[in-house]
Amino acid sequence: MNTSTKNHDLISDVGRLYVVATPIGNLGDISIRAIETLRTVDLIACEDTRHTKKLCNHLDIATPLISYFREKEQSKSELLLAQLLQGKNIALVSDAGTPGISDPGAVLVRKARHAGIEIIAVAGPSALAAALSIAGLEHTTFFFGGFPPANKNERKQWLRQLALLPCPLIFYEAPHRIAASLQDMADLLGDREAQLFRELTKIHEECLEDTLIGLLKRVASGVKGELVLIVQGAELALPKPNNLEELLLWYRDEIKATLKDAVGNIARDLDLPRSQVYKQALQIWKDTP
Ligand code: SAM
C-alpha cells in the first residue's frame, strides 16, 4: 500500500494525519485500509468518542480516542497539531462518512498542511457520493449545498442565489427541517422534480421521487432518519447573454425575475452601477409584452 506523497519538503520525524472515512450506516462499508489505519495510529480524533468507541469495539480496535468536534475545532486542532509534531500518527474520523464534508476536519487539515505534516485521505463512504451514485443523473456537474441555512430568511436568500444554476442541487437536511426546506425550495426554485434519499446503506433505505410539492405532501406526517435531497437544476431554454439589454430581456422572459432581482444580479454580474441598470430595466419592463 503506497501512502507516501510527492512533497519532499515534508518533515520526516513528525507524525502523519490520516483522514479516514467511516460507514454512513452499514458497518460492512468500512474499508480494509480504514481498519488498518485506525488500528495502527497512535490516536483517533473523533466527533463523539462514545460513537466511535462503538465502531472500534465492533472492529476490535483499542486505539485511544480523543474528541474533536465543531465547537472546539480551533483549540482541539492546536492540541492535535502538537501531538503530530511530536511524532504521533493521528486518524481523524467523524461520526459517519467522510470528515470535512459537512463535518469537522478542515481546521486541523489546514493547520497540519501549513506545518508540513503529511495528510493522507483514507477514502470511503459519504452520503453525498452514495446518493449521487444511485440518482441516475446524466449531468456531469452538480452543486452540493451541504445543509441549507436553518434560519428561514437566510435560507430563502441563499436559495435565491441557487435558482439559476442549471445543474442538479444536492443538499443534506435534518428530518425536522425537511418540510420547511421543501416548501421554501418550491416557492423560490419552482415545483421542480426531486429525489429524497433516506437511510442510505441501512435496512430502511429508500428513495422518494416526486416534485418538491409532491415530496412535501409525502413527508407532511413526519419523516425519520437521515436524508439527502437532490433537486433538478434550472431549465434554461436560452443561454445567458452577456450584454446589458439582452440580459434584461433574458431575466424578464426566461427567468421571470422581478425587476429588482434582475437589476441586482446584472449590476453585480456586469459590474455596472445599479442606477444605470435600473434606468434601462424600467424601459424594458415598461415594454413587457
Ligand atoms: N460527512 C458525512 C458524509 O460524508 O456523508 C456527512 C455528515 S453530515 C453532519 C450528516 C448528514 O449527512 C445527515 O444529516 C444526512 O443529511 C446525511 N447522511 C448521513 N448519513 C446518511 C444516510 N445513511 N442516508 C442519508 N443521508 C445521510
Q: Are 37 and 121 contained in the same domain?
A: yes
Taking the centre of ligand 1 as the mean of its atom positions, its distance from the CA of residue 86, in whole angstroms, is 33
Nearest to 120 by CA among 40, 223, 200: 40
List Cβ neighbours of 103 (8 Å cut-off, separation of 6 or more): 47, 94, 95, 97
Q: Is 172 in the pocket of ligand 1 (CB under 6 A)?
A: yes
Q: Is 65 exposed, middle or buried (0-12, 13-18, 19+ CB in 10 A)?
A: buried
Asked if the structure places residue 64 within a domain, the reply is: yes
Q: Is 77 exposed, middle or buried (0-12, 13-18, 19+ CB in 10 A)?
A: buried
**What is the structure's pLDDT at 281?**
94
Taking the centre of ligand 1 as the mean of its atom positions, its distance from the CA of residue 259, in whole angstroms, is 39
Q: Are 49 and 121 contained in the same domain?
A: yes
Domain boundary among 106, 125, 144: 125
Taking the centre of ligand 1 as the mean of its atom positions, its distance from the CA of residue 126, in whole angstroms, is 7
Asked if the structure places residue 2 within a domain, the reply is: no
pLDDT digits (tens, 9 = 90+) for 104-159: 999 999 999 999 999 999 999 999 999 999 999 877 799 999 999 999 999 999 99
CATH number, domain of 81, equals: 3.40.1010.10
Enter the C-alpha cell of residue 93: 474520523
Residue 199 belongs to domain spanning: 128-231
Ligand 1 atom nearest to 205, measured from its CA: 24
**What is the structure's pLDDT at 6?**
42
Taking the centre of ligand 1 as the mean of its atom positions, its distance from the CA of residue 226, in whole angstroms, is 6
Low-confidence ranges of the chain (pLDDT < 50): 1-9
**What is the structure's pLDDT at 253?**
84
Give the global pTM.
0.81
CATH number, domain of 193, equals: 3.30.950.10
- Specify the number of domains making up the chain: 3
**What is the structure's pLDDT at 7?**
45
Q: Is 84 in the pocket of ligand 1 (CB under 6 A)?
A: no
Q: Are 145 and 194 contained in the same domain?
A: yes
Chain-centre distance for alpha carbon 146:
3
Domain boundary among 110, 125, 140: 125
